[in-house]
Amino acid sequence: MKKTYKLIFISLFFINTSGFAQTNTLKINITPTFGAMVLQLADSLFNANDSTQLQVDVLKFYISKVQLLNDGKIVLEEKNSYHLIDASELKSVLLPIENKENIHFDELQFDLGLDSTTNVSGAMGGDLDPTKGMYWTWQSGFINFKLEGKSKLCKTRNSEFQFHLGGYQQPNYCIQTLRFQITNSNVINLKLDLKKILQQIDLAKTNHIMSPCLEAVLLSKIVANSLTVIEN
């Protein structure tokens, strides 16, 4: 269970290289972790602190509007840029971004979540299909980030916690824009550390967020700050 996230990057690369062109494609790897450990869903317990343990059962989130920048200017913007990252689906954590002209860039920018236009357009296909479990209703729109699991701290049925974060209207606008300096223009490794997220939540008091609200906005910011670049 105690594999480092570097090992998963190596395995993912060899599993998926045959499906990607060796040139003109940027590969973005997103690895969910719990501290230094690669996340294992459902069957693994992680030490949240010295007195309790927790289990993560579901982790899904949207990345959209992927852009490459150079010297602060957008040089490439992915079309129809919607990606659902699902920790239970190995292939979903690898995003191939076409860069046909091998445009030089030094920054990566994307949104965590889906914009208001996408939300009011109703359910669609592909990663936006409602069968993916990330769509509330036409009025509420899409769930940007979903995290579910169990913790002894939760005084709930089966000790469950559920965080479904979304909202595209003020004051409950949850979408977060992230921007990273990039040194490797072929493969970008990102890490989402769930330990950073859950350590900032008092699960005894806050264990269910299931609709757009100010708490969802605050937690969305915490999630965004828990995504970092791993230098090769």
pLDDT at residue 32 greater than cutoff 90 = yes
pLDDT at 181 > cutoff 50: yes
Which has more confidence, 99 or 190?
190
Of the chain, the percentage scoring pLDDT greater than 90 comes to: 63
Domain layout of the chain by residue ranges: 45-92+103-183+196-226
Beta strands per DSSP E along the chain: 25-34, 37-38, 45-47, 53-70, 73-77, 82-86, 94-98, 107-112, 145-151, 160-165, 176-181, 187-193, 208-209, 227-230
Is the model's pLDDT at 73 over the cut of 60? Answer: yes
- Rounded Cα distance, 25 and 185, in Å: 10
**Which is more confidently placed, 179 or 17?**
179
pTM of the predicted protein model: 0.86
Residue of higher predicted confidence among 23 and 163: 163
- Condensed to tens digits (0 to 9), the pLDDT of residues 123-158 reads 688 999 999 999 998 778 999 999 999 988 898 988
